Structure 1
């Protein structure tokens, strides 16, 4: 799909764009290219935390790829506040990424071992994460005209089933979160080997 056509679409502009795919599929690069080529002001919401050397290296590489005039907001948990803050200073907001945010949110809820062992607590986690997303989507819907949020997330449901229960809970909830955001998004791109396919457009035009 020609990215120049998508730049025209961003200039419409859509209120919400979702980019999802596997690791190293080109999600972040595609999001940044959309933002840059739109010619509009950009803010970047980074959810990653430098917990080890590898993560510090990843964060540094992402920082180096961003334009110098972008506003960067580092927020691992409170997405609503971050989006509201970003919308004050920019027209295009990149949220990178929901996958890391959900991991942060999970471990902020308390004892991970208890979450694995107690089905009532895991059910609360499902409901709580989706409630967080619903509030975020309400805020996005109320942004001023001309604002665009580009959300980056991972598709983790195509691999093997995790061997431990916490991993399965995380996979399942992320799948539900992605569905909720995709339903509200104007454009949904599946990233494969650096190429973005607008799967929402294909879904809307599909017939038997």
Structure 2
């Protein structure tokens, strides 16, 4: 049975991760945190540490900056997985010069066959100005395509702005 994918979208520091965590806690299922970030500096280490404290106990964490399918395939219907976040995963793919279309197809297929509930967090990057360099423009376009694809497979899509959730598809 395919998972129920909930897609949480918002700007940086909009409250989307906190909202997604709350959804997972309220589900009363076994909580899995699928982390996609990599630590390259002290600022990222501090951010990860803040998120650990914010989440609190009761989570099983998997660190998977590149390969998410094997973790998603290992989950079951008694679990809920918070994939935080698709934006960092995409950044990792781009830095590794991966084939973005193939990587996205693999991710979407894994989400569709996963039997756990999955909450996917992603950044909306299309509300700002056009970036001044080619790499940033490429990222913005790739993120937009990934967000569109995630929204298509998710029965529920929620936008979070200033900590306030709004259902774009489905219900809160």
Same fold (TM over 0.5): yes
After TM superposition, the score normalised by the length of structure 2 is: 0.92
Instruction: Say which structure is richer in helix.
Output: 1
Identify the match of residue 74 of structure 1 among 63, 71, 80. 63
Residues 1:103 and 1:48: Cα distance change in structure 2 (over 3 Å):
same
User: What does residue 151 of structure 2 align with?
Assistant: 182
Which aligned segments of 4 or more residues in structure 1 are displaced greater than 3 angstroms?
none
Distance in 2, Cα, partners of 1:130 & 1:107: 15
Query: Unaligned stretches of 5+ in structure 1?
Result: 1-12, 110-124, 203-208
- In structure 2, what is the equivalent of residue 102 of structure 1? 90
- Any unmatched runs of 5+ in structure 2? none
Counterpart for residue 164 of structure 1:
133
Per-residue deviation, 1:79: 1.2
Secondary structure (helix, strand or coil) at the match of 1:199 reads strand
Partners in 2 of 1:43 and 1:67 — Cα distance? 12
Tell me the residue number matched to 1:134. Answer: 105
CA contact (8 A) 2:73 2:113 kept: no
Count the aligned residue pairs. 170
Question: Residues 88 and 67 of structure 1: is their aligned pair in 2 closer, same or farther, counting only changes over 3 Å?
Answer: farther
TM-score, length basis structure 1? 0.77
* Deviations 1:14-34, CA, capped at 9 Å, x for gaps: 610100110111110000000
Residue 142 of structure 1, CA deviation: 2.0
Instruction: Please state which structure has a larger fraction of its residues in strand.
Output: 2
Q: Distance in 2 between matches of 1:183 and 1:70?
A: 28
